[in-house]
Amino acid sequence: MRARRRPRPLPAREQVLGRRAPGNGFLHRSPAGLKVAMLALFTALVLVAREPVVSAGGVVLVLLTALAAQVPLRMLLALLRRLWLLLVVLAALQLLLNDPLTGAEVLSRILATLLAAQLLILTTAPAELVAVLRVLLAPLRVLGLEPGRVALAALVMLRSIPFLADQFRMAGRQAAARGLERNLKARTLPLLLGAVEHARDTGRALSARGIDQV
Amino acid sequence: MTTHPAEQQTPAPDVPRRRRSRGGIPAQSIALIGVFAALIAVLAFAPPIPVGSFGVPITLQTMGVALAGLVLGPWRGLAAAGLYVALGLLGLPIFAGFAGGFGVLAGPSAGYLLAFPIAALVSGLIARAVVRRAARRWWMPLLFLAAITGSILATHPAGILGLSLNLQIGVREALMMDIVFWPGDVVKSLTAAAAAALVHRAAPWVLVRR
């Protein structure tokens, strides 16, 4: 009798959340709200200044901070590997349309702000960011917005991302198996229906736990 | 698609009873908002997929936004897209290319991102009127109009403005860069409209009978 073929394992999905730098430097320990505020300040400075010196200095500052906080530079610069195509296109465009100095400023500005944000992500847990969002939304209470419920929706979102990412990959493989890998509808419709179903189940689970009575 | 008359009379067994909480958003809406914000994120970091006989690669980020508006209606669509943008700006790596943080405000896609909630709102306003008033056979074309209207009124003008400001180029050059996205936009709006029409038929509890 022929041995049953073992199913081929699915390739691992790209990890989105929880990509946290190891270690326990000062950035890991400082509160998330402070880091978000610093990032906002830094971005605003670089955006307002629009000087090549400031932006380039910003890149250096981010790299030095990463070193001081024991964040591996390899993890920080992994961002460039994912965005290199965008950066190359931007560089070409700037050389075409602008003078080199403006081009250098635009590129270093984008690099500095993206790397600074990456530094925040690498040292902060997603749930901490949701807590920051909740605090930031507190003033909107006067408009009838409940920060607690928004935070709950954000947590539902965090939970749903890996689930939907798997659904999307499965939909792609199913479409490919039917020879429909170039059919947008075949690749996205299972994801959408899965999302609606997942939302219904989640909504019922929330109701069952008495969220509406709170 | 024709609908069987009996189908409309039998109440769907899985319609959750709507229970208004004390002035808050009902649990089902919280779940829908959270899950659709996740849907936008998942579509945003999908690699560009080749579509059609020419295999032109297109990215799916704006399709998630259109779906949020078309499926959830105006306010929950606005909330889902707003939640996505807000968490992305705070630093979650959920924008295209796993970027995140206020840094994207300095990048070329800033205008597009900030316009997403408005686009979902505009599409949602039209979509809600369509699924509640129009006959079912008109849903697909009218939902397509809803999606493309949101895109034309919100996403593209803001996107062009963002390109022009952040790359320090003229509005005309920015418009030229933006035009590249138009054919993909039409394809995505068509698909989103067809998919949303299907959801409204299969799950009327989401928007039609709300």
> Which domains occur in chain B, in start order?
26-202 (1.10.1760.20)
Is B38's CB within 8 Å of A195's CB?
Answer: yes
Which site among A81, A196, A197, A204 would you substitute to test the B interface, given the most B Cβ atoms closer than 10 Å to its Cβ? Answer: A196
A58 and A94 share a domain? yes
Handedness of CA B79, B80, B86, B89 (dihedral sign): negative
A55 and A112 share a domain? yes
* Domain of residue A174, residue span: 140-213
The answer to whether residue B93 neighbours chain A at the CB level (below 8 Å) is: yes
A144 and A120 share a domain? no
CA A114 – CA B95 distance, rounded (Å): 11
A45 and A109 share a domain? yes
Query: Which H or E run contains B50?
Result: strand B49-51
The answer to whether residue A115 neighbours chain B at the CB level (below 8 Å) is: yes
Q: Please check whether residue A122 is in contact with residue A21, taking contact to mean a CB–CB distance below 8 angstroms.
A: yes
Q: Is residue A205 part of a domain?
A: yes
State which amino acid sits at residue A56. A
Residues in chain A: 214
Q: Is residue A12 part of a domain?
A: no
A105 and A165 share a domain? no
A107 and A47 share a domain? yes
Number of separate domains in chain A? 2
The shortest C-alpha distance from A43 to chain B (Å) reads: 6
A105 and A31 share a domain? yes
Predicted complex ipTM: 0.82
A33 and A101 share a domain? yes
Q: What is the pLDDT along chain A (214 residues), one digit of tens a residue?
A: 567 777 766 666 666 666 677 777 788 888 888 888 888 888 888 888 878 888 888 888 888 888 888 888 888 887 787 777 778 888 887 888 778 778 888 888 888 888 888 888 888 888 888 888 888 888 888 887 888 888 999 999 988 988 898 899 888 889 989 988 788 888 889 999 999 999 999 999 998 888 777 6
CA A21 – CA A118 distance, rounded (Å): 11
Encode pLDDT of B23-68 as tens digits.
Answer: 567 889 999 999 999 999 999 877 777 776 666 677 788 899 999 9
Q: Which residues of A touch B42 (CB under 8 A)?
A: 161, 164-165, 168, 191
A197 and A118 share a domain? no
Q: Is residue A130 part of a domain?
A: no
